[in-house]
């Protein structure tokens, strides 16, 4: 949480204003923050063209592009389902549908293998009709028939979306239906004629982070501007979101007021008033089942004579909680070797929970009987990653996916009541897994903490320090970096003699909330030290050497690798820094940046800037260093992490005489690409760069 400042408010605001003015004067590259400014676009366009020209001429570029595109467009991909009533819905891209189609199939046909898809919405056709590069961003259906949906569409792939009501029977957008102008936010049906919505309702209705701070209940046939406001948060909140939570046939209007990225008030709209739930502000709600509100604790919680430990998953009788009483049942308390994964779902009668133990998945079904949760292990594959794809709220059916680094993704259908599982679809193998092995090691970090990491390599790898090695990590926001199938990477990197390494550094969620909290704010140097510990351990084992070691990360991971090459320039020969945060003095002024102060701290507070400035990559560039030639990637349409971070960093480095590579896709949002062809191009650029630098 942000530190309390015990000084005169007027003096503080004066100091901050002065500091910001000085900062603006000193930052001569700030003009690159003008996203669509002509000078900025000309500058990054020239850099991108130069990079594409150089890297596309590398010997492996075309084969990597072709292989990647073939995988992304393959008809053998798994069509992941989303259960809505008696249908499964799926969004699909291939060579004939560049921007994709939204389609459905009867659930019983999908599970029996008699799949007949019915196309509902063609995004390519819609884009051509509207002369807009639409990107599908999901849908929210009307319970229980699911004959209407609220479709979210983004212009170019950003987080801001327009919402349009769609009738799946007529396959048309509903004339005069629930249609919402472009905004960050969301909407969901309470009933056929009522929508709970948080959006940009006009001047003053958004937070400083660029998210909604008002929630409305909007009746069909009325104007959105006239819909009653049921909650309004503070402008300084990260955001305030409303939605509908279902427990069988019961529907509750829930509002969450996020004061920071990790703390929020949870409220319920009941009887024409807002009721605040007496829960820890850092706890996370995970749904409701059989009148049990599922809650994941991020810190110790003492209720009466009982203290529930950090990381515990528990439930509270919802009726009692609304009456300000607490009747609590523990679902699961992980031990020191694991954590509760974010992959949690409910069926009609069961709570499905994925437990991580030393970064591998273990799936369990829980049934609530006589005031207690009864656990049963699901017959699921071992030594890999499981995530729950979708579940039915009307039956006990659900789908889950299993994969690991060398095992192709497999989709399973399961029945929680019968505890049965069955493979529905497997990806084909995109490389020969028999040639490779997966090992897990632990490296001691600077403070002695053991940091686990996976190494994927050839079985006959020679330990001579010359293997081209790509190290990936994230280290933030309690996100766990779990094993995943190396589909295109297997053929374009492993098959060319490369080694893949995934580091489970602090800041993530692999070992629960405490693992994350050990890398927050003033403790962030732990995250970077963990990365260096793994890097040095790889070198000590003679798997690789600094000459053959590359590091890659995106978003918060882009910040990670930006710090890595500025703090330890001699440790890496190649760096891929994707959609990164880099200017940590201005991150909270750019787009959604203010929402991340709970993770990094507030650079406008002198005490917090004192530790942020020690690692801010943009501010720690120095002349005469031996920096590698870094490859920066970003997107013009990234409305989450501002492209100005990457733009300013490369401009500053180039002016200091350092060689860099830079590629900015004109669309794609924070994901970097909107189509399979764009994704394949970026993949080919990145791996051509890595092969050029590390082999």
Residues facing residue 109 across a β-bridge? none
Final residue of a structural domain among 124, 155, 182: 182
Residues in CB range of 685: below 8 A, 6 or more apart:
51, 52, 55, 56, 61, 631, 633, 663
- End position of a domain, from candidates 248, 276, 304: 276
Of 670, 673, 674, 688, the active-site residue reads 670
pLDDT digits (tens, 9 = 90+) for 484-527: 999 999 999 999 999 999 999 999 999 999 999 999 999 999 99
Statement: residue 5 has pLDDT above 50: no
- Is there a single domain that holds both residue 290 and residue 359? yes
Q: Does any domain span residue 7?
A: no
Of 320, 328, 323, 286, give the one whose Cα is nearest residue 303.
Answer: 328
**Nearest Cα to Cα of residue 247 among 288, 195, 285, 277:** 288
**pLDDT tens per residue, range 420-447:** 999 999 999 999 999 999 999 999 999 9
Confidence label for 167 from pLDDT (cuts 50, 70 and 90): very high
Q: Is 549 strand, coil or helix?
A: strand
CATH of the domain at 313: 2.130.10.120
Number of domain units in the chain: 4
pLDDT exceeds 50 at position 647:
yes
Residue 14 lies in a domain: no
Q: What is the CATH number of the domain that holds 583?
A: 3.40.50.1820
**Segment 204-214 mean pLDDT:** 97
Per-residue pLDDT, averaged over 306-320, amounts to 98
Residues forming a β-bridge with 137: none
Residue 19 lies in a domain: no
pLDDT band, very low/low/confident/very high, at 534 (cuts 50, 70, 90): very high
Segment (H or E) for 363:
strand 360-369
With 60 as the cut, is the pLDDT of residue 24 above it?
no
Whether residue 316 sits in one domain with residue 178: no
Q: Which domain holds residue 527?
A: 36-68+442-694
Which residue reads 């389902």 in tokens?
81
- The single residue of 152, 488, 555, 673 carrying the catalytic annotation is 555
Expressed in angstroms, the distance from the first to the final Cα of the chain is 45
Picking from 50, 142, 3, 23, the residue whose alpha carbon sits closest to that of residue 629 is 50
CB distance 175 to 655 below 8 Å: no
* Cβ count within 10 A of residue 327: 14
Average pLDDT of the segment spanning 407-428: 96
pLDDT, residue 2, reads 31
At residue 307 the predicted structure's pLDDT band, cuts being 50, 70 and 90, is: very high
* 529 and 417 within one domain: no
Q: How confident is the model at residue 644 (pLDDT cuts 50, 70, 90)?
A: very high
CA dist., res. 260 & res. 521, Å (int)? 13
Domain shared by 416 and 500, yes or no? no
| pLDDT at 82 exceeding the cut of 60 | yes
Looking at 210, 243, 276, the residue that finishes a domain is 276
Supply the pLDDT for residue 9.
33
The verdict on 471 and 540 lying in the same domain is: yes
- Residue 31 tokens, joined: 């003009």
Alpha-carbon distances of 405 from 190, 430, 440, 508, rounded to whole Å: 41, 12, 12, 19
Q: In the annotation, is 619 catalytic?
A: no
Query: 410-419: which pairs have CB atoms within 8 A and are 24 or more residues apart?
Result: 410/381, 411/78, 411/80, 412/380, 413/111, 414/378, 414/380, 416/347, 416/349, 416/350, 416/352, 416/365, 417/349, 417/350, 419/365, 419/376, 419/378, 419/379
Q: What is the DSSP string of 135-154?
A: EEEEEEE-TTT--EEEEEEE
Say if 263 falls within a structural domain: yes
Tokens of 85: 């009533």
Tell me whether residue 513 is in a domain: yes
199-204 own/partner pairs: CB under 8 Å, 24+ apart? 199/163, 199/224, 201/225, 204/235
Report the candidate in 269, 580, 348, 347 with the shortest Cα–Cα distance to residue 363.
347
Residues 168, 196: one domain?
A: no
Average pLDDT over residues 198-216: 97
Same domain, 168 and 206: no
Does 495 share its domain with 472?
yes
Based on the fold, state whether residues 199 and 260 are members of the same structural domain: yes
385-391: strand order across its sheet: 385-391, 397-403, 410-415, 420-426
Judgement on whether residues 420 and 517 belong to the same structural domain of the protein: no
Question: To the nearest whole number, what is the mean pLDDT of the chain?
Answer: 95
Let me know if residue 437 belongs to a domain.
no
Any domain includes 17: no
Banded pLDDT at 6 (limits 50, 70, 90): very low
> Under 8 Å CB-to-CB from 6, ≥6 apart: which residues?
none
- Could you tell me if residue 10 is inside a domain? no
pLDDT of 670:
94
Res. 8: pLDDT tops 80: no
- Indicate the pLDDT class of residue 26, thresholds 50, 70 and 90: confident
Per residue in 84-104, pLDDT (tens digit) is 999 999 999 999 999 999 999
The Cα 260–Cα 596 span in angstroms is 8
How far is it, in rounded angstroms, from Cα 579 to Cα 592?
13
- Is residue 466 part of the annotated active site? The answer reads no
What integer pLDDT is reported at residue 149 of this predicted model? Answer: 98
The predicted model gives 354-377 an average pLDDT of: 97
* SS3 track for 377-411: ECCCCCCCEEEEEEECCCCCEEEEEEECCCCCCEE
Beta bridge partners of residue 437, listed in sequence order: 457
Pair 194, 310 in one domain: no
| pLDDT score of 561 | 98
Q: Do 268 and 287 reside in the same domain of the chain?
A: no
Q: What is the DSSP string of 244-288?
A: EEEETTEEEEEEEEESSSS-EEEEEEETTEEEE----TT-EEEEE
- Residues belonging to the chain: 695
């Amino acid at each position: 949480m942000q530190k309390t400042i015990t000084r005169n408010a007027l003096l503080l605001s004066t100091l901050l204003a002065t500091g910001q003015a000085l900062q603006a004067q000193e930052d001569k590259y700030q003009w690159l923050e003008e996203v669509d400014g002509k000078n900025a676009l000309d500058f990054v366009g020239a850099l991108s063209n130069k990079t594409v020209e150089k890297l596309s001429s590398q010997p492996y570029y075309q084969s990597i592009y072709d292989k990647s595109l073939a995988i992304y467009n393959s008809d053998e991909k798994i069509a992941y389902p989303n259960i809505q009533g008696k249908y499964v819905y799926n969004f699909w891209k291939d060579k004939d549908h560049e921007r994709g189609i939204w389609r459905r199939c009867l659930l019983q046909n999908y599970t029996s293998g008699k799949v007949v898809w019915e196309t509902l919405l063609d995004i390519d056709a819609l884009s051509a009709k509207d002369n807009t590069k639409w990107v599908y961003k999901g849908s929210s259906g009307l319970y229980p028939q699911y004959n209407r949906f609220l479709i979210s569409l983004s212009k170019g792939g950003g987080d801001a979306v327009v919402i349009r009501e769609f009738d799946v029977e007529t396959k048309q957008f509903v004339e005069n239906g629930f249609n919402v102008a472009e905004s960050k936010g969301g909407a969901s049906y309470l009933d056929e004629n009522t929508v709970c919505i948080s959006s940009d309702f006009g001047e003053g209705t958004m937070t400083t982070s660029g998210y909604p701070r008002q929630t409305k209940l909007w009746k069909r046939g009325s104007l959105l501007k006239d819909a009653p406001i049921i909650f309004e948060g503070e402008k300084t909140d990260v955001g305030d979101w409303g939605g509908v939570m279902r427990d069988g046939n019961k529907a509750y209007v829930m509002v969450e007021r996020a004061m920071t990225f990790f703390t929020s008030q949870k409220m319920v709209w009941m009887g024409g008033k807002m009721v605040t739930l007496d829960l820890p502000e850092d706890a996370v709600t995970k749904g409701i089942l059989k009148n049990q509100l599922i809650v994941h604790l991020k810190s110790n919680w003492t209720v009466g004579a009982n203290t529930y430990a950090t990381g515990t998953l528990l439930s509270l009788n919802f009726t009692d909680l609304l009456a300000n009483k607490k009747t609590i049942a523990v679902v699961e308390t992980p031990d020191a070797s694991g954590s509760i994964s974010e992959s949690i779902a409910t069926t009609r009668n069961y709570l499905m929970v994925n437990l991580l133990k030393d970064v591998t998945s273990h799936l369990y079904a829980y049934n609530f009987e006589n005031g207690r949760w009864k656990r049963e292990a699901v017959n699921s594959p071992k030594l890999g990653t499981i995530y729950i794809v979708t579940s039915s709220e009307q039956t006990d059916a659900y789908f889950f996916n299993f994969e690991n680094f060398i095992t192709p993704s497999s989709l399973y259908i399961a029945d929680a009541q019968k505890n049965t599982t069955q493979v529905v679809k497997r990806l084909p193998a995109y490389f020969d897994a028999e040639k490779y092995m997966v090992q897990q090691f632990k490296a001691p970090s600077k403070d002695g903490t053991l940091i686990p990491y996976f190494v994927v390599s050839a079985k006959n790898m020679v330990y001579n320090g010359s293997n081209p090695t790509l190290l990936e990590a994230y280290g933030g926001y309690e996100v766990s970096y779990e094993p995943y199938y190396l589909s295109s990477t297997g053929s374009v990197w492993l098959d060319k003699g490369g080694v893949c390494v995934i580091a489970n550094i602090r800041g993530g969620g692999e070992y629960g909330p405490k693992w994350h909290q050990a890398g927050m704010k003033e403790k962030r140097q732990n995250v970077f030290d963990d990365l260096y510990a793994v890097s040095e351990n790889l070198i000590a084992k003679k798997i690789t050497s600094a000459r053959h070691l590359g590091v890659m990360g995106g978003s918060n991971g882009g910040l990670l690798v930006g710090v890595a090459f500025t703090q330890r320039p001699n440790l890496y020969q190649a760096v891929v820094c994707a959609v990164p945060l880099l200017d940590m003095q201005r991150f909270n002024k750019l787009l959604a940046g203010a929402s991340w102060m709970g993770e990094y701290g507030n650079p406008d507070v002198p005490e917090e800037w004192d530790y942020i400035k020690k690692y801010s990559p943009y501010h720690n560039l120095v002349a005469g260093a031996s920096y590698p030639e870094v490859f920066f990637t970003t997107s013009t349409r990234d409305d989450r992490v501002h492209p100005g971070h990457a733009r300013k960093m490369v401009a500053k480095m180039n002016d200091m005489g350092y060689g860099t590579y830079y590629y900015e896709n004109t669309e794609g949002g924070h994901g970097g690409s909107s189509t399979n062809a764009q994704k394949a191009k970026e993949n080919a650029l990145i791996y051509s760069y890595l092969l050029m630098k590390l082999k």
